[in-house]
Amino acid sequence: MVYKGRRLIHIDLDAFFASVEELLNPGIAGQPIIVGGGPGRRGVVASASYAARAYGVRSAMPTAQALRLCPQAILIPGDLEIYSEISDQVMALLKEYTPLIEKVSIDEALLDVTGCERLWGPAEEIARTIQRRVKEELGLPSSLGVAANKLLAKMASEEGKPGGLLVVPPGQEAAFLAPLPVERLWGVGPATAQRLHALGVEAIGELAHLPLDLLEKEFGALGGVLYQRAWGRDDSLLTPHREPKSIGHEHTFSRDLTTLREVQRHLLDLCERAGRRLRGHRMRGRTITVKLRHSDFTTLTRSATLPHPTDLDQVIYDQAVHILRREWRPGMRLRLVGVSISNLTPRLPSQLPLFDQREAKLSRLNRAVDEIRERYGDGALQRASLQGAKESL
């Protein structure tokens, strides 16, 4: 149901990975920081502090290029586990205000606070409290946007970056958007932007005043969407909990893997991670897909479908290895290996099976291992065959 007068907050943690590194090591605060893979290891920038951005460093830029722009930058390999842990803490704080939260990514979330006024005050006040608490309690800077829908809340937080809080008052939606360049609008990529420029459109306000039929003629179905967005209209609802379509893990190696033994070892690790996440979602999957990227970047994906859904590491791994062995040729050099499970169905909660005693045992084993890792950390328990196999990010 879509109702009038919605109030949404979008929160984006500023230069998240870099900010966490500043927290962990206060001595480097304020300096240009780049979190990402090493330049010799064909790494890319995952996150850059604002001090580094001043030199033109951007996310997803090859690290080598970033270091040429800003040679004095501090390069940190980063630790995804710590970042997810801190991200969880932020999400937990947000949950104190509303259960209607859509986690957009590790450093971004949308909150629907419609109807929360009597509890927490107006949306703007909630946003201000959240921003202050995230800074005081977790030490992280953030940008927030408050508006009547997802589109505007997200664009508002973007405009306020870094450290801003921008409110789009009800009725001011189109006015807020009008002066912004069309490139900022959701769904307008470089190609669409170019075609809009050709029509003489630079600002979103100009786009809003193009005739709808012209837009539809020019862009098809997207034309109608662009028109609605240009007027700040977006009825899409929050999806507080997204059912994943597939669950998987992949890893790019700093040096190519050249032996089947090595690849299998890493595949086992990836299957264990994927299996654990699958169980965490209380899902089972039937299709196992293995992804292999060669040193020349050609990528191959191969799938196999099991007779019935599973969430067991061993079953996933057996199938993945089967696929790998079929595709493996001596002399292969792999830079990336990935495994994913799709064709997901929810696990029947605890319906005990008549047959399959082996699977019941494996299932108990997986759950016991999950619990130990949950309590004592991922490193608490490891397969002997995986000793020393892990690489840092």
Partner 1 sequence: MKLSCLQENLSRGLAIVGRAVSLRSVLPVLHNILLATDQSQLKLSATDLSTCITCWLGAKIKEEGATTVPARLLVDFVNSLPPEQIDLELVTRTQTLHLKCARTEANIKVIDAQEFPLIPTGIEDRKITLQPDALRQMIEQVTLAAATDESRPILTGALADFQEEKLTLAAADGFRLSVRSAPLSEPVPEPMKVIIPARALQEVGRVAAEEGEPVEMTIPSARNQVLFHLAGGALGGPIEVVSQLIEGNFPDYKQIIPTSYNTRTVVDSKEFLRAAKIALLFARDAANIVRLQMTPGEGEPGSLTLAATAAEVGDNVGQIDATIEGQAMEIAFNGRYLIDILNAIDSAQVALETSTPSSPGVFRPVGDEDFVHVIMPMHISR
Instruction: List residues binding partner 1 (CB under 8 A).
Output: 286, 307-308, 348-356
108 is catalytic: yes
Element (H, E) at 223: helix 221-230
Name the minimum Å distance from CB 358 to partner 1: 13
Give the torsion sign (CA, 10, 15, 21, 25): negative
Spell 158-172 as b/e; 16+ CB within 10 A means b.
bbbbeebbbbbeeee
Q: Which of 21, 22, 108, 173 is catalytic?
A: 108
CB-nearer residue toward partner 1: 360 or 381: 360
8, 112 Cβ separation under 8 angstroms: yes
CB-nearer residue toward partner 1: 200 or 307: 307
Name the minimum Å distance from CB 356 to partner 1: 7
The Cα–Cα gap between 247 and 387 comes to 24
**Which among 336, 71, 393 is positioned nearest to 63, based on CA atoms?**
71
Name the minimum Å distance from CB 355 to partner 1: 5
Q: For helices 357-376 and 260-280, what crossing angle results, to 10°? A: 80
142-147 vs 165-167, strand pairing mode: parallel
Burial class (CB within 10 angstroms; exposed 0-12, middle 13-18, buried 19+) of 76:
buried
The Cα–Cα gap between 216 and 187 comes to 15
Residue 8's contacts (CB-CB under 8 Å, 6 or more residues apart) are: 110, 111, 112, 113, 114, 123, 146, 147, 148, 149, 150, 152, 153, 238
Q: In 10 A of CB 363, how many CB atoms?
A: 19
**DSSP conformation letters of 67-127:** HHH-TTPEEE---HHHHHHHHHHHHHHHHTT-S-EEEEETTEEEEE-TT-HHHH--HHHHH
Name the minimum Å distance from CB 357 to partner 1: 10
39, 45 Cβ separation under 8 angstroms: no
- The catalytic site residues sit at 108
